[in-house]
Amino acid sequence: MSNLIYIGGGVTAPAGFTANGVCAGVKAATSAAITKAMKSNDSPVIPDGKRDLALICCDRPCTAAAIFTKNLVKSDTIYVTQKHLENGVAQAVIVNSGNANACNPDGYEKAEAMGKLAASALGIDENDVIVASTGVIGQPLPLAPIESGVRKLKDILSKDGGTNAAEAIMTTDTVKKEWAVQTVIDGKTVTIGGIAKGSGMIHINMGTTLSFVTTDAAISSKMLREALIEAADVSYNMVSVDGDTSTNDTLAIMASGYAGNTEITEKNGDYYLFLDALTDALKNVAKKLAGDGEGATKLLICNVSGAKDEAAAKIIAKSVICSSLVKAAMFGADANCGRILCAIGYSGAQVDDVKKIDVSYKSDAGEILVCQNGCGLAFDEEKAEKILKENEIGIIITLGDGDGSAEAYGCDLTYDYVKINGDYRT
């Protein structure tokens, strides 16, 4: 992957794509409806100034694919998008924040209407629109602000609008998540870009949060889907913030083909070059998603090696970063190896000999071994605390069972997580 170069431009970096985001008033309308229901009085629908509607478009139909949450309770946007992608073609994405359009009696009709509004504004086939929503579950989706917002968006789509689109899909996120990477395939420069959102209700089970990827590679929809599944399996699917799998998780990709490489239609060398670039990018985004967890102060990266196989390593890594006790200990800079060992033990993964387990903590402040051969060690508590005070912590686990390895991404558990989610609707 030495030929990968990260560049600016985000989701509009690949040839053929434009985007933008506006404040349509979806969040304000949803908040007003909640306030009215809770307080039994009318509240004016006043946009709060935050962008909440995004549109991404290609100037020609693209090969496309998507993967979705495995939660049995799904937003109707997912069912509409699945239907639209049956032919492996898409040309645009419309997505709102502030309202998940999930668990609503008219959710499917509203999701279809969103797609039609986008298609009409852009002059494209309504079946070529990917539809997504994120925000409060169980509240009717207001269509009026989306209709007016789409009218604004069609006139301001641009190569510079990707950052606004990234902002428009944020909910409790504190930072925008956008990226673009270039590689060389078949002698042609291929660009892959994207935007993502996610801070809470993240226990990705591809699913992911909401993420929209664009590329100018020439690649079939079948190979796009294969690459998306493979890349997500070692990146997005290894993220957990709070153990809750969202109802709306969508990871979608569109390929314009403008790069001019020979179309990738099988798993050949060109496919694996594309996969490497996509995987590297999604791993970087996975870390951003985990590090921006609701209330989080630290990114946790659990690296497991020496496991029986890759599957066992993945199970152990995710068990550790999902542990509330581990997450709380990291918040408090407490180098308690017992919590790590406990999470390994109940993970369900086969571990041949727990007496071979080593555990260390690592950050920019150094590294310290706290467990060796399954037993806690005496160590310098001051050094350990200094290491764990950093904002990115590595939890390094070595087993003696085989050559399986994996990496998972999470965050610490703080007082603010409870506060954010205790006040989520209000």
Residues 6+ apart with CB under 8 A from 423: none
Q: What are phi and psi of 374, to 5 degrees?
A: 75, 5
CB atoms within 10 A of CB 42: 9
Say if CB 95 and CB 249 are below 8 A apart. Answer: no
Taking alpha carbons only, the member of 195, 373, 341 closest to residue 281 is 195
Burial status of residue 369 (CB atoms within 10 A of its CB: 0-12, 13-18, 19 or more)? middle
Taking alpha carbons only, the member of 86, 31, 33 closest to residue 64 is 86
CA distance 141 to 131: 13
Directed axis angle between helix 107-122 and helix 144-154, to 10°?
Answer: 20
Q: How many CA atoms lie within 13 A of 345 on its CB side?
A: 10
CA distance 216 to 234: 23
Kindly name the residue from 208, 214, 215, 247 that is annotated as catalytic: 208
99-to-35, 119, 209, 368 alpha-carbon distances in Å: 14, 21, 14, 45
CA distance 426 to 419: 11
Q: Is 63 a catalytic residue?
A: no
Residues with active-site annotation: 208
